Chains A and B, each alone.
Chain A
């Protein structure tokens, strides 16, 4: 145990809280790209800054009330700029399980290592702070960059729910990939 080793500081990014003043306009801009649906969940639609502000307030309220959700902002360490969002949700402390999702908002910020760096922090948070036994991710089969990223971190395909998502005019499989605590420990 080394409590001086920060849970939130990565190589390129840091995990932070929501900034209810500064974040909403930026997140609203990301929602103009339907691809961002995979991060917020649900049906893709452009959201106004005010709509995002309320959604983020709701998220924080839910964190306070249910205790089974941890929501993070991902910020570039260089200038503290918001680059993405992440959450560990559906946490079941009694069985030690949870689901993870994260996304980098601006297309020009993708493929620069921010996601992988944030993922490493989130795994450590899930296993060393939340003490989970396992984690899941649920990408649709067309989300290849995300599948590749979590594969590198050790996630294995456990289930393939056939044609369980419909978007962009077709049905897509929904993958369930899992990482056990023991596998994560070995990978360190």
Chain B
């Protein structure tokens, strides 16, 4: 890994002006498979304007409880997804992390894993968090495999949490402690 906190092997973490990110979010959400991997809310088609409104509101919030990054490839600087600390709990030094690769051509090729590794380094060396948490639905096998590679450990399974196409799926809890991450870095 580069010594630049925001640069990995394949991607860099960046930030976009609201119109750029809003256009991308609105476009990615039209892929219902992408949305259903990401969220347990009903799939919803929001406009570019609505995303822009939300992103602009975030620009004005003083204390960051959420930190959103865009993911751009190092090779061609293509905007392919986002990753975010979604509700940082400063008192417990824990945060949930969310990631989505909106450009389907970049699925299953290590781009998300690279971005998540950057997020973990940022969490433990810059935000000084004690742990990072995530939830993933049991049908998101690609996601689960990527998180395992990053060092997340399985912490449990919330039974029958999501109902889709008439079928119930579990939601998994995964987490990585600062100690777990230190051991990986020493290897």
Tally chain A residues at the interface, Cβ within 8 Å.
24
Interchain CB contact under 8 A, A164 and B91: no
Q: Given A161-B173, A164-B175, verify A43-B91 contact (CB < 8 Å).
A: yes
Chain B: minimal CB distance from A168 (Å): 12
How far apart sit A161 and B177, CA to CA, in the bound complex (Å)?
Answer: 10
Best-surrounded residue of A97, A164, A166 (most CB of chain B within 10 A): A164
Interchain CB contact under 8 A, A178 and B155: no
How far apart sit A92 and B171, CA to CA, in the bound complex (Å)?
Answer: 14
Contacts of B175 in A (CB 8 A): 161-162, 164
How far apart sit A171 and B168, CA to CA, in the bound complex (Å)?
Answer: 33
Interchain CB contact under 8 A, B41 and A158: no
- Range class of the B interface residue count: 20 to 34
Q: A180 an interface residue at 8 Å Cβ cutoff?
A: yes
How far apart sit A160 and B92, CA to CA, in the bound complex (Å)?
Answer: 15
Q: A94 an interface residue at 8 Å Cβ cutoff?
A: yes
How far apart sit A96 and B40, CA to CA, in the bound complex (Å)?
Answer: 11
Contacts of B156 in A (CB 8 A): 157-161, 176
The binding surface of chain B is classed by DSSP as strand
How far apart sit A162 and B161, CA to CA, in the bound complex (Å)?
Answer: 21
Contacts of B131 in A (CB 8 A): 161-164
Chain A: minimal CB distance from B184 (Å): 16
Contacts of B160 in A (CB 8 A): 133-134, 180
List 12 A–B pairs whose Cβ atoms lie within 8 Å, in order of A's numbering. A92-B41, A94-B42, A95-B40, A158-B156, A158-B157, A158-B159, A161-B155, A161-B156, A164-B133, A164-B175, A165-B94, A166-B92
Q: Which A residues are within 8 Å of any B CB, using their own CB? A: 42-43, 92, 94-97, 133-134, 136, 157-166, 171, 176, 178, 180
